[in-house]
Structures are given as C-alpha cells and as structure tokens.
Amino acid sequence: MIGGVMRIFVTGGAGYIGSVCVEELLKYGHEVLVFDNMEEGHAEAVLAPATLTVGDLNNFAQVNAAVGEFRPDAVIHFAGKALVGESMTNPYIYYQTNVMGGTNLLEAAVRAGCKKFVFSSSCATYGPPEKIPMDERIPQKPINPYGHSKLIFEQVLKWYEKVHGVVFTALRYFNAAGASVANGEDRKVETHLIPIVLDVALGRREFIGIFGENYATPDGTCIRDYVHVIDLAEAHIKALDRTVSGFFNLGSGDGYSVRQVIDVARKVTGHAIPAKIMPPRPGDPPRLVASANRARMDLGWKPRFNKLPTIIETAWAWRQAHPKGYRSQ
C-alpha cells in the first residue's frame, strides 16, 4: 500500500490539528473517516469528502464497531486530552482517555487487521530536558500527568508492536500553532498562548497574562518551539509510508519566549497587546526546543512554515476571518 490511496481512520479529525491533517490526506486522495466525540471538534472543520462518525474512544464497543466497519489501512490517532494545566488538577481524565481510550482504539485496529498506527505524542513526554535542543534519545521524565499519559501510550504501542506486529509512528509535537485557510484554533475554553494573544488583538480580551517571569531563561519567561500545524500534518502523510516503527520530534528548532511571542504578535497585528505578569502555571517546563533532525532524515519531513512571524500571520488570518471561531461561518 506504500504511496497508494489508503483508507484512513482519523480520531480527533474534527479538532484543530486533526482537521488540518484531514485536509492534507484528502489532497493526497486518501479516503478518510473521522471519529470524534465532538467535545472540542467542529463538524464544519471536517472537509468533504471525509465523513464524520461521532463516537467515544472510551466506549470500546463503539470504537470497535466503527473501525471494524471501515476496515482502515491505517489509523491516525489525534483524539485526546491535551492541556498541561488541566492534567495537574484532573489527572483521571488524562489516564482514562489518553491511555485507556487509546488502547481501545489500538485493540480495535488490530482486531480489524489494521497494523499501521500514527500517534500524536508530545514533547511533554520528556519533562524539563538536560540539554537543548532536544533529540529523541534524551530521558523521558514527564512532570505532569498529561505528558505521563502520552508516554504510557507510547509504551503500549511498543508492546502492541511486539505482540501483534503493529507498525507505529509516534510523533512528538512541540507547540502546534498557525492555521490553514479553512481550519484553525477554536476551543471551548482557550488556554493556549497564541490564540489568547490574538484574542487581545481582536479586542475580545483586555490583556495577555504572562505566567511567570522568573524562569531560568534570558527574559525570565518560558521558551517553547512553535511548529506550524500544516507542517505537522505533512509529517503524518510521510508516516503512512513507513514500514518500521519509530519516534520523532516535530518542532521548528527555534525557541521563543512568551514575551517574544507577544512581540511578534504585536508586529503582525499592529495592536499594542497589553501584557500583565501572573503567577507561574503549575507543570510548565521552562524551556522546550526540538531537534527535529531525525524527522528530517528518516521521515523525510521538510517543514515549510517554520518562522514564528509566518506561523502567527496564518493564525491571525484565520482568526480575522473567523472572529467567533467556527460560529462565524
């Protein structure tokens, strides 16, 4: 099936990163079924001819029926809980959805004879690194239940490889950002830096709170590696061709502090974007920056939008076109 048209089962395909990946899959002619519980998904984000099945990964019978009926050639698993802060107050839903829900899906895939699995993992599986940039060989010592739940599921994947011959690709995203023309960030409760900063520029919030200014970084605020959502999507397309399992970091390789992100957004939007210092957010590592050399070499990944101003410009274009998110349509 290498290089050919495939049937792809995409969990979380109505969400932010998943919907952009579905757009890319459709460009390559793949047949796509999206499985999403619509907690954070938007039906409008699933572009035709992809189809949407509403269902819950935590319900094995439901996911097993959906996978069994569709008989995919590959599963791409985006669905999951993904907020560091929330995981520090409610770890249960992280283990339930990210570990048990993911295992339900993996088991259903194997029972349907599908052995190709692409998983949205995270740089949060590493915890604060001893060296920057971070390659895939550094120890994984997560400092929040979110990162830990993603790490456990990576380990589940390794056992399914041994026991059932699953070929998996675990993609450890750094900070997904930016938008396609059709799809962008629209969550029930927004906690991510860039969309909140852009909300201030749109006049929907008064200021951006900076969570801590005493970290061991040059300007005291946390440093992250922002990677464009279309580039992330492209890595999944490459992963479909793989015949051996692997783990890959996906980041731009550039670190930006919270203050630097706000400054770039000021330039892109032409808005003053007032900022206020707030207490640090529990569970935040001071600095996360990728080395994505392995993804470039072994996956053949070529990020195209890896400059922060470009990333913020695309996010800003989407936000201006959808000031109330998908409800603006």
Which residue ranges make up the site for ligand UFG (CB under 6 A)? 82-84, 122-124, 174-175, 191-193, 196, 208-211, 222, 224, 258, 281, 284, 288
Neighbours of 151 (CB within 10 A): 23
Strand partners, 4: none
User: CB-hemisphere CA count at 13 Å for 7?
Assistant: 14
State how far the Cα of 208 lies from the Cα of 274, in Å rounded to an integer.
6
For 78, the token pair is 């985006």
CB of 126 to ligand UFG, least distance (A): 9
CB of 221 to ligand UFG, least distance (A): 7
Q: Which is nearer to ligand UFG, 162 or 276 (CB)?
A: 276
CB of 150 to ligand UFG, least distance (A): 8
Rounded to a whole number, what is the largest CA-CA distance in the chain? Answer: 56
Contact between 78 and 13 (Cβ < 8 Å): yes
Contact between 292 and 301 (Cβ < 8 Å): yes
Nearest residue to ligand UFG, using CB?
Answer: 222
Parallel, antiparallel, or unpaired for β 175-177 and 226-228?
A: parallel
Q: Which is nearer to ligand UFG, 154 or 284 (CB)?
A: 284
Parallel, antiparallel, or unpaired for β 256-257 and 223-224?
A: antiparallel
User: CB-hemisphere CA count at 13 Å for 317?
Assistant: 13
CB of 31 to ligand UFG, least distance (A): 28
Q: Which is nearer to ligand UFG, 192 or 307 (CB)?
A: 192
Amino acid at 274: P
CB of 113 to ligand UFG, least distance (A): 31
CB of 165 to ligand UFG, least distance (A): 29
Residue among 126, 146, 160, 256 flagged as catalytic = 146
* Span between the terminal Cα atoms of the chain, in Å: 38
Q: Which is nearer to ligand UFG, 24 or 225 (CB)?
A: 225
Beta carbons within 8 Å of 267's beta carbon, 6+ residues apart: 309
Parallel, antiparallel, or unpaired for β 175-177 and 74-77?
A: unpaired
Active site residue 146: yes
Q: Which is nearer to ligand UFG, 162 or 188 (CB)?
A: 188
Neighbours of 53 (CB within 10 A): 16
The reply to whether omega before 133 is within 30° of 0 (cis) is yes
Q: Which is nearer to ligand UFG, 45 or 208 (CB)?
A: 208
* Residues known to be catalytic: 146
